Structure 1
Amino acid sequence: MPSSASIAGILSALLLLTTPQARAQLPETVKICVDAEEWPPFFYYQRQNGQITTRNIGYTVDYLQAIFGAAKQKYALTRMSWARCQAEVKYGSQDMTLDGVSNPEREQAYLLSKPYYHTTGIYFFSRARPAPKVNSRADLKTLRVCGQHGYSYQPYGLEPTDVDTTPYTLAAAMMLLKTDHCDAVLEEKEVAIGMAKIGMTNYLAHPDFGFREVPGMPVSNYHMFVSRKVPYAQELLKLLNSGIKDETSARLRMKDIDPVLTP
């Protein structure tokens, strides 16, 4: 006859099998959606002989491989519009997404990883008109500001109602700037440099536009977003946070970001 201690152990094991933690194992393949628009030097397509390939490269791509590779966890990437991607993660059709800044709405909708990189905010203006006077982040509120659909401009001190986010691409936003529908277009300096470096439009040296950093604006920290709707959300967040390390960030920055930002 089993001892009382053995019976207690068996009961404990059975109880453990019925707990949420036991049911929260990660799936065989984690589903990750990303913005269809390129985000160099963090997430973009490799170029070969000047031609775009289908291979994803960049800092975030390598960070994913470092985290999931170490855990021997499979994942699948799907590109779609940024607004759709956020919605699919919010409602659990996708497990997670990448390269997002925090705001109150997103903190309610997702579990946010530790930050794994940061960027510098800039604004573009038209050279055909006097440059807007921006002495601090607060001055952006006095301007007609354009951005991109689905993007958060909370780090710029702006609410959704402060920014025209009807454009789906930076090119579309810059066209609105050129045609005097807005006074400024917001972008991340590292991304603008990355775009120029890989052969996309170089708006930093464009004859129609000027740019400046936003005075006094802190850097924008970027996170990975995990769906709150999937049963393994906490396990997935734990995996991500355990893999986001200062040494990994420094190594991948040296590999993927610094060469792009260096003139």
Structure 2
Amino acid sequence: MFSILALPLLLIALPPRPGWPPGSPLLACDDINQWPPYTYRDNGALIGYSVDVLQQIAHAQQWRVQIDLLPWERCLNAVRAGQYHLALNASDNQQRRRHYLMTRPYYFTHSVYFYSRRHHSELDIHQLADLRRYRLCGLFGYNYEPYGLSTHDLDLGTTRFPQLIAKLHLGRCDLFVEKREIIVGFSLTDPEMNALLRDPQLQQRPLPGVAPTGFHMLISRRIQAAETLHAILEQGLDDMARRGRLTRLLRRYGVENQPIPEGMDRKQQQR
């Protein structure tokens, strides 16, 4: 069974479970603003690479999956409290390691920065430290720690990319950082974003000094058998990577990068 709830009125902590037998419900959440091409709506249906990955692992275990879309911070807090089993599409940081069990990365993205030619012909950025020379903006609830930035370093007063782009053109900030694959995904699903990205006044450049960013599933430490769920998901991801299924799923959604580079240290990876 697969269902979508946009905003539940009440979240109730899950009852203790001794394990994860066939028929168990698996409750996951993700960002209500979507995360294409990994999690997004198409004609009312929730689809995407991450949805397919979770569904395939759950199908092999005969679990019943439910994915709800919430404001991102609410999703993370609900998983932390044990009201959901896991969150999809999360990057790595120290705080999340403390509060959640984290799967291996199951896809990677590449970082770029955007600026407006209405205010800058170019930006002088050659390394991450150069970001601090400019006024930065970002999306509320997103993770900028991999770029050496704290929440105090950015204007986080918006939750949508079109609003970020508007801030650039208005001169309220100089740049924002995002993943290339995510921006392309939103341009495919959001006509407003597609039009904004076609504007020659909006420029993007690769962000130097940043390794590909790994994305994980975050598992609540507050649920019974959390370690068991983590082990099953890890085994499922390992099996899908070994059989080439992760790469094939990525290509289905127009992403050509290798999802699990061999030998990449987990600390090199960085929503």
**One-letter identity of the residue aligned with 2:143:** S
Unaligned runs of 5+ in 1: 1-21, 47-52
- CA distance in 2 between counterparts of 1:147 and 1:54 reads 28
Classify the secondary structure of the residue corresponding to 2:211.
coil
- CA distance in 2 between counterparts of 1:236 and 1:73 reads 11
RMSD (Å), alpha carbons: 2.0
What count of residue pairs does the alignment treat as equivalent?
234
What is the aligned counterpart of 2:83 among 67, 81, 93?
Answer: 93
Report percent identity of matched pairs: 30
Q: Which has the larger radius of gyration?
A: 1
Shift of the 77–195 alpha-carbon distance from structure 1 to 2, 3 Å rule, reads same
- CA distance in 1 between counterparts of 2:73 and 2:66 reads 19
**One-letter identity of the residue aligned with 1:120:** H
Shift of 1:157: 2.3
Q: Residues 1-263 of structure 1 correspond to what in structure 2 (within 5 A)? A: 23-25=18-20, 28-46=24-42, 53-130=43-120, 131-200=122-191, 201-202=193-194, 203-245=196-238, 246=241, 247-258=244-255
TM-score, length of structure 2 as denominator length: 0.81
**One-letter identity of the residue aligned with 1:33:** C
- CA distance in 2 between counterparts of 1:28 and 1:258 reads 32
Q: Is the 8 A contact 2:25 2:63 kept in 1?
A: yes
Q: Which moved more, 1:117-126 or 1:202-211?
A: 202-211
- CA distance in 2 between counterparts of 1:24 and 1:239 reads 11
- CA distance in 1 between counterparts of 2:255 and 2:109 reads 13
Q: Which moved more, 1:180-189 or 1:27-36?
A: 27-36
Unaligned runs of 5+ in 2: 1-16, 257-271
Q: Deviations over 1:184-226 (max 9, x none)?
A: 0121101111222234313443233111110121111000000
Classify the secondary structure of the residue corresponding to 2:126.
coil
TM-score, length of structure 1 as denominator length: 0.83
- CA distance in 1 between counterparts of 2:158 and 2:167 reads 8
**One-letter identity of the residue aligned with 2:87:** T
Q: Is the 8 A contact 2:109 2:180 kept in 1?
A: yes
Q: Which moved more, 1:140-149 or 1:195-204?
A: 195-204
Shift of 1:69: 0.9
- Larger proportion of helix: 1
